[in-house]
Structure formats: C-alpha cells, structure tokens
Amino acid sequence: MNKFTVRDIDFNGARALVRVDFNVPIKNGKITDDTRIRATLPTIKNLLESRARVILMSHLGKAKGSPDPQFSLKPAAERLGELLPGVTVKFAPDCIGDEVKKMVDSLNAGEILLLENLRFHKGEEGNDPEFAKKLAAWGDIYVNDAFGTAHRAHASTEGVTKFLSPAIAGFLMEKEIAIIGKALSNPERPFYALIGGAKVSSKIEVLENLLKIVDKLIIGGGMAFTFLKAQGVAVGKSLVEDDKLEVAKEILKKAKELKKEIVLPTDAVIAAEMKEESPEKIVDINSIPADMAGYDIGPKSIEHFMSVLKDAKTIIWNGPMGVFEVNKFAKGTFDVAKLLAGMKATTIVGGGDSVAAVEKAGVADKMTHVSTGGGASLEFMEGKILPGVAALTERSSCGSCSCSGSCH
C-alpha cells in the first residue's frame, strides 16, 4: 500500500480528525445493526492507544443539507460508548461552530468526540471549501476509515484534505485498498471474475475493465440473459436489456480478440413468475419457453462454473447468480458462495446485494475480503480513481517493484 496509515503515526496528544462510516440503520432511535461501528473499532482503539484526541465525523441516512432529528448520530455515540467501556465518548450537537470548538478544545488525549451528521450541512455533499476548512480546523491529522464513501468527493472525504495533512488511511480503508488494489494491479493468477446481478447496464464498466485484467470472465444472474440473447439464444421472458445487446456483443467480441473465455450459464431454473409459489423447472439454456423466465443458474451451470473456478488463485465476485431473495432461486448463489468459501484462493466479494448474499449463506467470514463499500467497490473495479483514496497522502514509492505500492 502506498498510503500512510494510522500505524505510521505516533499521535501523542495530537487531534485525529477521523472520517468514519457510522451510517447505521436506526429504528425508533435504536440501532438495529451496529456492524459498521464495530468495523471501525480497530482504528479507533489504535488511535486511543497512540494517545490521540479522537474527533469522529460521519453522515447518516438521507439528510438533505439541514438538521433532521431522525438522522441524528446521537444513538451511534451511545453505542460506541457501550462498545468501549471506560472510554469517554462525547457527542457534539453539530459538526461545525463555536459549541463544537469548545468541545474539541476541551477534549483530552484518549477521549472521543463524535460530531453530529455531516449532511446536516449542504457543504458536505457539495464539497464546499469553506465547510471543508471548518471541519479541517478540528484536527492535526486527518484519518479516513470510510471506504464506503471514498467514491464521493465530499467535504469530509476529499475537500478536508486540502486544508489538513497528512491524510492517512484507517485499518478498514487500508484493507480495502490493499486487497482489491492488489487484485486489480498485480493479481496472483489465474484470476477470474464472477459477475452477476440484475442488469448489464449497471455493470458495463466493471465488465469492460475486468475483462482487460482477468484470465476468464464468468457471467451469471439476470445479466447473463442479455449476453445469451446477443448470441441468438431464445431466453423467453428472462430479464433482458434490449438496448444493451450491442454492448454485450462488443464485450463478447473484445473477449475473442483478447483470447479470453467468457463463461455463460448452460442451463437455468425457470418459472412463470419470480415468486416462491410459482412452480419451477430446470431446463437447458436453449429450451426456455417463451412464457417463462430464468431466475437462477441451473445445476449444470453450477458444476461448470465450479470446474472453471477450481484452479483460481484470485477471484472477484460481484452480483448474485440468481434471485437469491426467493429461496427456490437461491441455490446457484449459495452454492457458489460455499465453493468460494472453501477455496484457498484470494476471494473478494463486492457489491451490496452480493455481500448480503454471502452473509445470508453464512460464509462471509470465510472469504478473504468482503468489501464494506457497495458503490465504492464497484467504482474501484471499474478502474476509476476513488477521490477519497486519491486524496490520502502518498508514500513516495514502495521501492521494491513497479506496483506503485499496491503489492504491500
């Protein structure tokens, strides 16, 4: 990794201004899932051990640029206090202003102050330099541990770094950029991508970029039907984006030129409707009746995908293989999840629904890396530079190869 991290700094009383992702689900003032808060604990504990004065900032929910009590971060401050017994966790009623200044000034080393929702101010999403400058005033060193918002150039993820340096990575951020970054720049081969999900349209850039990097591309899920139709297969009522048939043809042609195999399903689980009650049938991919649709990959496809994946050293998986939310169409996704979980290869899962699927399959902890950033991990796989990552302070060079740091 070619970015500085919390490991590199001895804080010793310095103020760490930390962008975290405390965007947790809250119902009736109670947090229903605190995974994101717990995921940041290693970074926070490291800062406390390093005697930092820790100032945390985050967004929550869809606050629209003005205070909105239903999106207050107060419950997150309370939860953090419970997770860190013996540590003082204070909560500021705003993220800028005189009151916050007083609280920051009176904070001691080893104490935490969580600021109120950044998105109570328009300057956050607008990346307003004046707002970013006000945030920057709270810290001596900036830490970003919120990979999930790294694809957005907001005041707290990008703007702030223009006024405060060094800007360093927390452990969560470090893990995301190190593991996904290495797969994209210097993977152990064979390297295969398994791409699924609903639509080709949302994954065109992911497919195009990964095709350049991987050795084989396996396509399942709803999007496979656009590729199958592009090859002349009759896919019945299966999800097809007719306006993306040309794109699919282009990708298939490109793969041929690059001599890279694109592996598509050979059979499907079909039904008249995407419902548990709708009777299902397994058919060869060429035998989908006109009035039915494919909602999962069939057993032959699962076998085939598994045999292709067997010698992989690196696998990136994005997009479920079928409609896993409906039990009878979940087998393809869950079988693939279990296969990956049992492999020695580096296994990386990214994408909101894909992560939900591996969690539902009970194998998330068996993967090398399950990305915490849905949109951010997709943009990373598209080969885009994430503004929140680019803004972090570079080590001059990793020195040992030409990887610009991603191999470490």
- Residue 222 contact among ligand ADP, Mg ion, none, beta carbon within 5 to 8 Å by kind: ligand ADP
Decide if 374 is catalytic. Answer: no
Contacts of 13 (CB under 8 A, 6+ apart): 51, 52, 53, 109
319 contributes a contact to ligand ADP by CB under 6 A = yes
Given the complex with ligand ADP, which of 215 and 273 has the nearer CB atom? 273
181 contributes a contact to ligand ADP by CB under 6 A = no
* Cα 121 from Cα 68, distance rounded (Å): 11
Given the complex with ligand ADP, which of 139 and 350 has the nearer CB atom? 350
CB atoms within 10 A of CB 243: 10
Residue 155, judged by CB atoms within 10 A of its CB (0-12, 13-18, 19+), counts as buried
Only segment of 104-112, 159-167, 348-356, 381-389 that touches ligand ADP (CB under 6 A): 348-356
Decide if 199 is catalytic. Answer: yes
| One-character DSSP codes across 243-309 | GGHHHHHHHHHHHHHTT-EEE--SEEEEESSSSTTS-EEEEEGGG--TT-EEEEE-HHHHHHHHHHH
322 contributes a contact to ligand ADP by CB under 6 A = yes
Out of 318, 346, 347, 372, the only residue in the binding site for ligand ADP (CB under 6 A) is 318
375 contributes a contact to ligand ADP by CB under 6 A = no
Q: Which of residues 235-294 bind ligand ADP (CB under 6 A)?
A: 239, 294
* Cα 181 from Cα 187, distance rounded (Å): 9
Q: Which of 132, 7, 125, 133 is nearest to 64 (CA)?
A: 125
* Cα 220 from Cα 4, distance rounded (Å): 38
320 contributes a contact to ligand ADP by CB under 6 A = yes
- The CB-of-305 to ligand ADP minimum distance in angstroms stands at 14
- Residue 298 contact among ligand ADP, Mg ion, none, beta carbon within 5 to 8 Å by kind: none
Q: Which of residues 183-212 bind ligand ADP (CB under 6 A)?
A: 196-198, 202
- The CB-of-238 to ligand ADP minimum distance in angstroms stands at 6
Given the complex with ligand ADP, which of 110 and 322 has the nearer CB atom? 322
Q: At what angle do helices 299-309 and 331-341 cross, to 10 degrees?
A: 20
Decide if 36 is catalytic. Answer: yes
Please tell me the total number of residues recorded for the chain in this structure: 408
354 contributes a contact to ligand ADP by CB under 6 A = yes
Given the complex with Mg ion, which of 206 and 302 has the nearer CB atom? 206
- Residue 318 contact among Mg ion, ligand ADP, none, beta carbon within 5 to 8 Å by kind: ligand ADP
**Active-site residue identified among 51, 90, 133, 199:** 199
φ, ψ of residue 142 to 5 degrees: the values are -100, 135
φ, ψ of residue 333 to 5 degrees: the values are -65, -45
Three-class SS string for 364-401? Answer: HHHCCEECCCHHHHHHHHCCCCCHHHHCCCECCCCCCC
Q: Which of residues 343-362 bind Mg ion (CB under 5 A)?
A: 352-353
298 contributes a contact to ligand ADP by CB under 6 A = no
- 3-state SS assignment for residue 126: coil
**Active-site residue identified among 61, 81, 126, 375:** 375
Decide if 220 is catalytic. Answer: no
User: What tokens appear for 246 in the block?
Assistant: 């040309």
Q: Which of 280, 260, 279 is nearest to 270 (CA)?
A: 280
Q: Which of residues 131-150 bind ligand ADP (CB under 6 A)?
A: none
Q: Which residues bind Mg ion (CB under 5 A)?
A: 352-353
List of residues contacting ligand ADP (CB under 6 A): 196-198, 202, 221-222, 239, 294-295, 318-320, 322-323, 325, 351-354
Task: List active site positions.
Answer: 36, 199, 352, 375
